[in-house]
Amino acid sequence: MNKEKTIDEPPGLQLSLPITPAAPRRISPPLKVAVLANLKKNVPLRPDAPPDDAVEYDREETVEAILESLRLVGHKPFFLEADVTLLDTIRKTKPEFCFNISEGLRGDARESHVPAILEMLGVPYSGSRVLANAISLEKVIAKRIWRDRGLPTVPFQLFHDPEAPLRSSLRFPLFVKPVREGSGKGVSPTSIVQNEADMRREARRIVQDYHQPALVESFLPGREFTVGIIGNPPTGRRRANPDLYSSDGFHYFPVLEIDPNVGAGQGVYGSEAKLIVPGAEGSPVYTCPASISCNLKKEMYRLTKSAAIAIGAEDCGRVDLRLDSEGHPYLLEINTLPGVNPDVSDLCIMAKAEGMQYSILINEILNLAYDRYGLPLEEKAPVLALAAA
């Protein structure tokens, strides 16, 4: 177990090195928890879907790993497919809590569908709610909110019509991506464009194949990082693992650097590169903790927390950043539903690098959500701690 040390803090950000517990702990009473996800194998194929449509959906092994983690501390978890059957299956199985990782099946705000159903049914759930999930998916809205808060995000233009005039303030090279996708969908080395003809070709491809506007923004040529957090502002109630959190209520995972110049990515961390198991042939180079200055690390933690709070994210999140040519960090996007595949997901790579067991990560997300709802705690044995497996 680490001894707690305080890092030099910029104003407004209080960071302490975490004390990573040896085993997961449960603060709530044992719960009947429904794990909600869209399994890759159950997602219907749409005839007009882009080739990488299925990449964001979850594999059975991810759901199995979550179920196992929740079982380990005594919860009674079970899986429900997050499709149109959900309204009926929730009413039939009556979970006390839901662990939500559903990506949603269709529509502009698909990541908000399950939260909206759960709110309609009055069932508490982990992770961000309707609005934050919708904003996180719609990259341009998140960028406008951050710009309004003075947080760094590069200039952009949204192209509903790929032939619309390009604003003269945008300078090449530019980067073109779908406005509301994730998991690197629609992103490849051709997304970096050097001239207007190439920019229009990419914008047309996105509008036609992804049926949504193209987000065109300044290309950031520097190093790429992703920063994971779990936490919420303190509620005043006891946490199962209080030492895991800084006094601001958040736990900051070690910064992960991704070098997509190596392997299949060819400079871009797109869907192809994201799906390769780290270390396998063609995978980008992952370095965690990233080799960076203390100042850059603190600045990226500050930006991550501010970006999450600005859009109303809850319990967990991952923010992607890139540096400009002078080494200044800029917010690319936030993921309010970060992947939790134990082997390939960035958040799990960070937890592993810190020495945090997967089951701790999963149970903390549930503990944080339970705390946020202010649900009753067991009086006699409020914290169940398990010995390390």
Ligand X SMILES: Nc1ncnc2c1ncn2[C@@H]1O[C@H](COP(=O)(O)OP(=O)(O)O)[C@@H](O)[C@H]1O
Point out which residues pair with 158 in neighbouring strands.
215
> Is there a contact between 39 and 62 (Cβ–Cβ < 8 Å)?
no
181 binds, among Mg ion, ligand X, none (CB under 5 to 8 A by kind): ligand X
- Is the Cβ of residue 103 or residue 224 nearer to ligand X in the bound state? 224
Smallest gap from Cβ 33 to Mg ion, in A, equals 28
Smallest gap from Cβ 185 to ligand X, in A, equals 6
- Is the Cβ of residue 52 or residue 320 nearer to Mg ion in the bound state? 320
**Which residues sit at the interface with ligand X, rule CB under 6 A?**
154, 175, 177, 181-185, 187, 217, 219-220, 224, 260, 268-270, 320, 322, 332-333
185 binds, among Mg ion, ligand X, none (CB under 5 to 8 A by kind): ligand X
177 binds, among ligand X, Mg ion, none (CB under 5 to 8 A by kind): ligand X
> Is there a contact between 138 and 108 (Cβ–Cβ < 8 Å)?
yes
368 binds, among Mg ion, ligand X, none (CB under 5 to 8 A by kind): none
Phi/psi at 293 (5° precision): -70, 160
Size of the chain, expressed as the number of residues it contains: 389
175 binds, among Mg ion, ligand X, none (CB under 5 to 8 A by kind): ligand X
Smallest gap from Cβ 141 to ligand X, in A, equals 13
- Is the Cβ of residue 221 or residue 355 nearer to ligand X in the bound state? 221
| Omega before residue 124 within 30° of 0, cis | no
- Is the Cβ of residue 77 or residue 270 nearer to ligand X in the bound state? 270
> Is there a contact between 74 and 28 (Cβ–Cβ < 8 Å)?
no
Smallest gap from Cβ 332 to Mg ion, in A, equals 6
245 binds, among ligand X, Mg ion, none (CB under 5 to 8 A by kind): none
**Which residues sit at the interface with Mg ion, rule CB under 5 A?**
320
Smallest gap from Cβ 334 to Mg ion, in A, equals 9
Smallest gap from Cβ 143 to ligand X, in A, equals 10
Burial class (CB in 10 A: 0-12, 13-18, 19+), 5: exposed
What residue is closest to ligand X based on CB? 269
CA 100 to chain centre: 13
d(CA 299, CA 278): 26
* 3-class secondary structure, 197: helix
Smallest gap from Cβ 35 to Mg ion, in A, equals 24
* 3-class secondary structure, 120: helix
Which amino acid, one-letter code, is at 283? S
183 binds, among ligand X, Mg ion, none (CB under 5 to 8 A by kind): ligand X
- Is the Cβ of residue 166 or residue 285 nearer to Mg ion in the bound state? 285
What residue is closest to Mg ion based on CB? 320
d(CA 278, CA 258): 10
DSSP code per residue over 12-73: T---B-----SS-EE-SPP-EEEEEE-BGGGSPPPTT--TTGGGGSBPHHHHHHHHHHHHHT
- Is the Cβ of residue 118 or residue 207 nearer to ligand X in the bound state? 207
322 binds, among Mg ion, ligand X, none (CB under 5 to 8 A by kind): ligand X
Smallest gap from Cβ 88 to Mg ion, in A, equals 34
- Is the Cβ of residue 38 or residue 69 nearer to ligand X in the bound state? 38
Residue with tokens 């090195």: 17
Please name the residues in contact with 37: beta carbons below 8 A apart, sequence gap of 6 or more.
58, 62, 63, 79, 81, 82, 101, 102
Smallest gap from Cβ 172 to ligand X, in A, equals 12
- Is the Cβ of residue 67 or residue 268 nearer to ligand X in the bound state? 268
Q: How many C-beta atoms surround the C-beta of residue 27 within 10 A? A: 23
146 binds, among Mg ion, ligand X, none (CB under 5 to 8 A by kind): none
